[in-house]
Structure 1
Amino acid sequence: MNAYQQQLNRKTDYLNDLFQGLAMPPVEVFASPEQHYRMRAEFRVWHEGDEIFYAMFEPGQKAGGASLIRCDQFPAAALSVNELMPELIAAVSESEVLKKRWYAVEFLGTLSGEMLVTMIYHKRLDEEWEAAARLLQQRLGVWIIGRSRGQKLVLAQDFVTETLNAAGKTFRYRQIEGSFTQPNAQVCEKMLAWACAAAEGLGGDLLELYCGNGNFTLPLATRFQKVLATEVSKTSVAAAMWNIEANQSDNVKIARLSAEEFTEAYTQNRPFRRLQEQGIELSDYRFSTIFVDPPRAGVDDETLKLVAQFEHVIYISCNPQTLRANLDTLCQTHTVERFALFDQFPFTHHIESGVLLKRKK
């Protein structure tokens, strides 16, 4: 048994132990590629004399020579990132204006082939830098953004367009620099397919909380009559609106509300002008299912009361501990029909999981 399979088995055993005491079905395990799975990568840029190279530091250690790790290649990152890394270093090394006080770099790759590179500096970026960066962008065939303190210089665009396949369809997503996207695109596709399979045959309308840029929203919309999705981040809402139009998901509407705010609106404790301005009338929906993909803190107590009102719950979690705490409540009214482990972050302690719950008769 190889090292990857061993670590995946340990994660599976950990989940099974954590959820002891609850009636859980056998866990469905979705593995990751062992290498080249991360579409995002961030590095410090280290200067030693005239040489520059990528660097990382030991976790938990302060920046310093003793903890410095040189990274000419990064096996966890996508092949496209690894191929670009030496090309970028070589090109910048030829330009003093691009090289000077270059502090860090962020890569955002895609399965579609697009690449966004954010170059971060300890200096003000001027017209000379911009001219050199435009030549670099053209030479490498990527999108470049320059950043320094209080400054963001977008040469062409600050996003990439990703394509993901799920349940026999291809979906296009605008992914904006600095906003959240699933880092492991191939496992993300498996998560989307699992969610669609879990939603098969549930019918009615879907409510989604924490929808982000619509990552799950668009594939799930193929399984329901209408979808109402909520998200508080303006950047994510803007991306989601573009994604809805690009994918012709005409049965989806986005409400810019937090989960807590939507709970107040749904329970008629507080009216929201934002719903009226977007032409969203909650009485128009016949929700059969709620989908949640909350932050690490899990679903808050008031929102959990809302979740428990739904016939079906599809819950994607990035923190098994808070999922367990939420299930201790939800399993009083629902049974767990499906249970999944998605290995988004191989060789780390992080675990992504999913459950489908159905209300008890």
Structure 2
Amino acid sequence: MTSIYQQQLDAKIERIRNQFAEYQPPELEVFSSPEKHFRMRAEFRIWHTEDDMFYAMFERAEDGIQKKVVRVDEFPIADKSINDLMPALLSELKSNAVLSKRLFEVHFLSTLNGEMLVSLIYRCPLDQDWEQLAKNLSSKLNIKIIGRSRGQKIVLTDEYVVEELQVFDRKFKYKQIESSFTQPNAQVCQKMLEWACNAAQTSDKDLLELYCGNGNFTLPLSLKFNRVLATELAKSSVYAAQWNIEQNQINNIQVARLSAEDFTLAFNAEREFRRLQEANIDIQSYDFDTVFVDPPRAGIDDDTLKLLQRFNRIIYISCNPDTLHDNLKMLSETHKITKFALFDQFPYTHHVESGVLLEKI
């Protein structure tokens, strides 16, 4: 009997094949997810009653307006380490009036190698008593804890975990900062990284990457090219990317803190940017033949798409098939799809990640 997960995945496959049929792509490569324990992060409200306190989520009521509180004692889609910690943490919090007072939310961030960061979010100020009790709890449960309330953030040890992702025969370390974007499904992420490396093949030229984030794809892709220039606008992501590059002892990557739109202006020599000069980045010294993009859900603006058209090869990872489909209207004028993939990052939802390799016609 076909599982519910497989039925939903089959529906996604059919949707993606039909949606992109007009571009005549090759056979779709499908990368499935584990059916349980695949999410490395989870966020819950804490619901207080007169004599109890529990994890909660909300679902729409039948009228579509009011929200129904759903008690959550276990969360099978989350990593096993999160499920194991949930009851132990809740028990400790419930047994202490200071730690439980006006506790509003609990956020979990886990890794494949066992690190755990827990953010406790309150609707009241946190004092020294809270801090000492939280330190004791951190030590007892062997977890990192951050306390938050309005205008307040208390980091007891670190505000990050270090994930290790296996790509073929090498492991890469990634600093993942609390409340910053990271890929939620680490096992599917590893498959995405390997697919991107296979699409890149091996080149004696250089790679341009736009929207590099914390360097998730940058690190393994750097092994396939002579040099890499990666761009990202968010300061925290650039900081994490630089840390990741150093920790993984990779020396052929430069990171520019620029938006894709600003990089286009710099590449076309329409505007000079002090950030490039300060980082000692000479765009004209690069010999690009491939560009890698993993844009936000809104997709890529027209000026940047025109820039991409100038490259021989485009590797495009998308978290929104609709904007990818729309962007391909322009990119298909100069390129054809030679690899086509679906990555099921978000089982049991309608969301799906896809990837295409485009080569110049």
2:205–2:227 Cα contact (<8 Å) kept: yes
1:317–1:354 Cα contact (<8 Å) kept: yes
The alpha-carbon deviation at position 281 of structure 1 amounts to 0.3
Secondary structure of the 2:70 match is: strand
2:231–2:256 Cα contact (<8 Å) kept: yes
The alpha-carbon deviation at position 6 of structure 1 amounts to 1.0
1:172 counterpart letter in structure 2: K
1:167–1:196 Cα contact (<8 Å) kept: no
2:203–2:226 Cα contact (<8 Å) kept: no
Q: Give, in whole Å, the separation in 2 of the partners of 1:201 and 1:188.
A: 21
Structure 2 counterparts to residues 96-135 of structure 1, below 5 A: 96-135=97-136
Structure 2 counterparts to residues 67-86 of structure 1, below 5 A: 67-86=68-87
1:9 aligns with 10
2:338 counterpart letter in structure 1: E
2:196 aligns with 195
Secondary structure of the 1:236 match is: helix
Q: Give, in whole Å, the separation in 1 of the partners of 2:224 and 2:149.
A: 44
Q: Give, in whole Å, the separation in 1 of the partners of 2:323 and 2:203.
A: 26
1:335–1:358 Cα contact (<8 Å) kept: yes
The alpha-carbon deviation at position 49 of structure 1 amounts to 1.6
2:268 counterpart letter in structure 1: T
Q: Give, in whole Å, the separation in 1 of the partners of 2:329 and 2:60.
A: 33
Secondary structure of the 1:104 match is: strand
The alpha-carbon deviation at position 311 of structure 1 amounts to 0.4
2:53 aligns with 52
Q: Tell me, yes or no, if structure 1 residue 351 matches structure 2 residue 352.
A: yes
1:237 aligns with 238
Structure 1 residues 58-78: Cα deviation after superposition (integer angstroms, max 9, x where no partner): 0586675xx111001001100
Q: Give, in whole Å, the separation in 2 of the partners of 1:37 and 1:286.
A: 39
Q: Give, in whole Å, the separation in 1 of the partners of 2:262 and 2:316.
A: 19
Q: Give, in whole Å, the separation in 2 of the partners of 1:63 and 1:208.
A: 44
1:320–1:351 Cα contact (<8 Å) kept: yes
2:172 aligns with 171
| Identity %, equivalent residues | 56
- Assess, with a 3 A threshold, how the Cα gap between structure 1 residues 295 and 59 changes in structure 2: closer, same or farther: farther
2:265 aligns with 264
Q: Give, in whole Å, the separation in 2 of the partners of 1:131 and 1:110.
A: 26
Q: Give, in whole Å, the separation in 2 of the partners of 1:166 and 1:86.
A: 33
Q: Give, in whole Å, the separation in 2 of the partners of 1:71 and 1:273.
A: 50
Q: Could you state the TM-score of these two structures normalised by the residue count of structure 1?
A: 0.98
Q: Which runs of 5+ in 2 are unaligned?
A: none
Q: Give, in whole Å, the separation in 2 of the partners of 1:59 and 1:303.
A: 39
Q: Give, in whole Å, the separation in 2 of the partners of 1:59 and 1:126.
A: 36
1:125 counterpart letter in structure 2: L
Q: Tell me, yes or no, if structure 1 residue 92 matches structure 2 residue 115.
A: no
1:166–1:192 Cα contact (<8 Å) kept: yes
1:224 counterpart letter in structure 2: F
The alpha-carbon deviation at position 167 of structure 1 amounts to 2.4
Q: Give, in whole Å, the separation in 2 of the partners of 1:20 and 1:195.
A: 22
The alpha-carbon deviation at position 358 of structure 1 amounts to 0.5
2:31 aligns with 30
Secondary structure of the 1:157 match is: coil
Q: Tell me, yes or no, if structure 1 residue 42 matches structure 2 residue 58.
A: no
1:228–1:254 Cα contact (<8 Å) kept: yes
The alpha-carbon deviation at position 5 of structure 1 amounts to 1.1
The alpha-carbon deviation at position 20 of structure 1 amounts to 2.1
> Alignment RMSD, CA only?
1.1
Structure 2 counterparts to residues 140-155 of structure 1, below 5 A: 140-155=141-156
Q: Which runs of 5+ in 1 are unaligned?
A: none
1:229 counterpart letter in structure 2: A
Structure 1 residues 4-31: Cα deviation after superposition (integer angstroms, max 9, x where no partner): 1111110000001111211211100000
Structure 1 residues 314-344: Cα deviation after superposition (integer angstroms, max 9, x where no partner): 0000000000011111111001010000000
1:254 aligns with 255
1:45 counterpart letter in structure 2: I
1:57–1:63 Cα contact (<8 Å) kept: no
1:138 counterpart letter in structure 2: S
Secondary structure of the 1:325 match is: helix
The alpha-carbon deviation at position 201 of structure 1 amounts to 2.8
